[in-house]
Structure 1
Amino acid sequence: MKVGDHMASYEMDKKNLIKVGNEIITLKKLFEVIPVSVVLINRKGEHILDSKVLLDINNSEPHALVRHKVAELSKEDANIIERDFGLFDQNKTVPAHDLAINNKTYKVVVAPLRNDSGYAFAELAVLTDITENKNTEHRLAKLNEQLKQLASRDGLTQLLNWYSYNDICNKMIGLARRENTSFSVMFIDIDHFKKVNDTYGHAAGDTVLREVADCIVENCRKTDIIGRVGGEEIAVYLPQTDCHDAITLAEKIRIYIEKEKFDAEGTLINITVSIGISNDKPYYQTIADIKKDADAAMYMAKSNGRNRIEHL
């Protein structure tokens, strides 16, 4: 029998006595009063000693877990213990890990108990309640995601803002170049939008702009990149789309908006849009390159009577 196997078999004899001044206590008694969650486990995965705090965590009676294997509660935890002893035998450090118990999260730190020969006959695990820390991390992660969303979106239309739209489109153009696929861009501008603001007020103008943006989103594909790039200007990047398909989609959007009734402070009004289109050309390297032509095509549509589509 190896030195230390007495502990592994949970034989509480005189070797388990600890002298503190004139008082003598047992290791068992020490575990009962220690104010932290601690468990001593042998190589078979059996509980040898448990602190009262640990028993409270598991809603267990005193000694209820002693001599019971961890595998009876969790096969996954049993595998972790088996891994721990494998690392101990290689003189490696066991990484801390998180453990969920009764809707709470605990950080588990373990250390080997070795005999004089260096053989790890048991492991001591200390559990620290980090539930609140984890909840805080989750709240912060959620808040960061919300802030990221706000930073990348236009507050009125919820479309991508100018910066995010440009950034994503430049990456998409790079991808199109690598994969040798086509792309197009639509530049959409609301006709006589200033008149809407002057007649019905800026609140009504905001409502109309938001509803027009919704119409565009509703008619575009999920793969299309849509951004508000100016006051009443909305740009749409169309991946894997040639000139013919881009014009078809633009016409669909133009007709849809023309037939829609928009609420301007309680008054239903008609709105039209002018759309400029430009599709992939060899010298387009960034969204700024293609935007120039799409923008010029849009102004051509306005010059030619509005509520129409032009292509460059």
Structure 2
Amino acid sequence: MDNQFTRQERDNSARLAELLHHNTDWIWEVDADSRYVWVSEMVTNQLGYTPEQVLGRTPFDFMAPGETARLKKTFEEILASRQPFSGLINRNVHADGHVVILESSGIPLFDENGTLTGYRGTDRDISQLGERVLQLESIYQNTPLALCMINRKGLLVEANKAMGELLGQDAATLPGKSLEDIVPDWHLLLQQDFMLLDSGEDIASKEVCLHGRYFYIKPLPVNDAGGHVSGISAAWVDITDRKIAEQKLACANQTLLQYAERDHLTGLFNRRYMDERLNNEITRAQREGSSLSLCMADIDFFKRYNDTYGHQAGDQVLRGVAEALRGGLRPADCVSRYGGEEFLVILPDTNGEGALAVAERLRERVQALAIEHESSPLGGALTISLGVMTWDASQLVCNIQSTGHISAELISRSDAALYRAKQQGRNRVVVA
């Protein structure tokens, strides 16, 4: 009976040895120093070396140039973690000189005291696919586009060199780190993306600012074998230069808009802007049933002033009068240089009594400038005349429906009032 069991054990051992040695994968065992202590005969098929030639050496002794530098840190991290690993792709040199690409997987071995004694694992020849995988990995790592993948826990799974540079860290140290610790603002956006994906919706691209630079982020879902979202991959594009150009363009457009709306001499709004503003105020007054008043002002005897003091002095007067008018108005009011020495003031939500008070205040402010005007028959000081028109949208029914026609009528009536102020001796206010 004992002999029968002994023969059966020998048969099982022989069968196991045959399975190990003739398995398509190369089976190996290394000690804590990464030196081979046992290898299957399949190593000869894969690398061209006999088991005896491999024992006592390390995986790095068979790797292609550059692979040791690329993978040594990874191996050290595997040993330090004392965890299983899989899918580690590496280039090796066959005994005849050609390159063999292997995919390595392994599990840790411990003695009865829990001390790590080494690893046991397999190497699979994936040369036909491996070169393509390594090429893709090289492209991924070396592209100038910052790429990364994050799992549902918010941990970085993959990050290329450009991503490391973007975050100011070594890309090799990023996997396993929490995005919340590195980029808190984007972590919140990412959680929202997962919620959208779980509800069956698409996730949109976004722009973020990080370390003083602007980035365009294009996120895409990563699905597991079951079709469930397991993570999000993202490409980060530095758009700082574009953003700066957009900001400069916006400033330039704003400047152009100001030039289009402003009188270059006085800084007041110009006639083009005022016509549009008046139409808007008429529409608002109609909608709210409120009053709208206009003041048309004109500098008295301005031609004589230019003839006496010159056009440069005349320009100074225009600027001074403009500032006096602007300083006498409320924030909601608006004043423009409507013609050569003519100014138009729009007074929203202002009735006739209020408009008259404003007009008198403006007249007094200009007179208070005490600008010498020796050719004026009104006492030797510069003055203005004003015509006032008030339109009560809640009471007046206009048979002209067009806002443009209403605007023209209001301008005409305030101008007519200004004409009467001049006829009556100037330096006064006349109400239409």
TM-score (norm 2): 0.64
Change (3 A) 1:120 1:27: farther
Amino acid at match of 1:56: E
Q: Which residue of 1 aligns with 2:302?
A: 193
Once the two structures are TM-superposed, the CA of residue 178 in structure 1 deviates from its matched residue by 1.9
Query: CA separation in 2, counterparts of 1:77 and 1:84?
Result: 10
Q: Which runs of 5+ in 2 are unaligned?
A: 1-82, 90-102, 104-125, 374-379
SS in 1 for 2:172: coil
Q: Within 5 A, what are the aligned runs for 1:60-71?
A: 60-71=169-180
1:63 match: secondary structure? helix
Which whole-Å CA distance do the structure 1 matches of 2:301 and 2:146 have between them?
Answer: 71
Which of the residues 262, 284, 290 maps onto 2:410? 290
Instruction: Name which of structure 1's ranges 134-143 and 68-77 shifts more when overlaid on structure 2.
Output: 68-77
CA displacement, residues 214-268 of structure 1 (integer Å, 9 cap, x when unaligned): 100011111112111111100111112122221112111112211213489xxxx
CA–CA distance in structure 1, aligned partners of residues 387 and 295 of structure 2? 6
Of 258, 264, 277, 1:155 maps to 264
1:211 aligned to 299, 316, 320, which one?
Answer: 320
Q: Is 1:14 the equivalent of 2:87?
A: yes
User: 1:300 corresponds to which letter in structure 2?
Assistant: R
* Among candidates 188, 202, 217, match of residue 311 of structure 2: 202
Matched residue type, 2:330: R
Matched residues in 2 for 1:301 and 1:271: separation?
Answer: 16
1:14 is aligned with what amino acid?
G
Q: Does the CA-based 8 Å contact 1:55-1:61 persist in structure 2?
A: yes
- Evaluate the alpha carbon distance shift between residue 36 and residue 183 of structure 1 in structure 2; reply closer, same or farther with a 3 A threshold: closer
The count of aligned residue pairs is: 299
Q: Against the structure 1 CA distance between its residues 176 and 62, is the aligned structure 2 distance closer, same or farther, given a 3 Å change threshold?
A: closer
1:208/1:263 contact within 8 Å kept: no
Structure 1 residue 274 corresponds to structure 2 residue 385: yes
Query: What amino acid sits opposite 1:290 in the alignment?
Result: L
1:112 CA displacement: 2.0
Letter in 1 for 2:426: R
- 1:189-268, aligned counterparts within 5 Å? 189-262=298-371
Separation (CA, whole Å) in 2 of partners of 1:19 and 1:185 = 86
Residue deviations 1:118-177 (CA, integer Å, cap 9, x gap): 112122111111100111111111111111111111111121111210111111122112
Task: Report if aligned partners of 1:162, 1:228 keep a CA contact under 8 Å in 2.
Answer: yes
Give me the whole-angstrom Cα distance separating, in 2, the residues matched to 1:105 and 1:121. Answer: 28
Indicate the percent of aligned positions where both proteins have the same amino acid: 30
Q: Is the 8 A contact 2:154 2:179 kept in 1?
A: yes
Letter in 1 for 2:161: K
> Residue 167 of structure 1 is aligned with which of 273, 276, 280?
276
User: Could you say what secondary structure the match of 1:84 adopts?
Assistant: helix
Question: Aligned partners of 1:229, 1:12: CA distance in 2, in Å?
Answer: 81
Q: Which moved more, 1:236-245 or 1:21-30?
A: 21-30
Measured after TM superposition, the shift of residue 212 of structure 1 is 0.4
Distance in 2 (CA, whole Å) between partners of 1:250 and 1:129 is: 56
Equivalent of residue 299 in structure 1, options 419, 422, 427: 419
Is residue 207–residue 263 contact of structure 1 (8 Å, CA) maintained in 2?
no
Q: CA deviation at 1:76?
A: 3.0
* Contact 1:28–1:49 (CA under 8 A) maintained in structure 2: no
* Aligned alpha-carbon RMSD (Å): 2.5
Give the Cα–Cα distance (whole angstroms) in 2 for the partners of residues 222 and 306 of structure 1. 28
Tell me which amino acid in the other structure corresponds to 1:295.
Answer: D
State the alpha-carbon separation in 2 of the partners of residues 245 and 35 from structure 1: 66
Higher relative contact order (CA 8 A, sep 6+): 1
Q: Are 2:372 and 2:381, in contact at CA under 8 Å, matched by a contact in 1?
A: no
AA aligned to 1:105 is: Y
Structure 1 unaligned runs (5+)? 1-9
Amino acid at match of 1:189: D
Alpha-carbon distance, 1:53 to partner: 1.0
What amino acid does structure 2 have at the position aligned with 1:247?
Answer: L
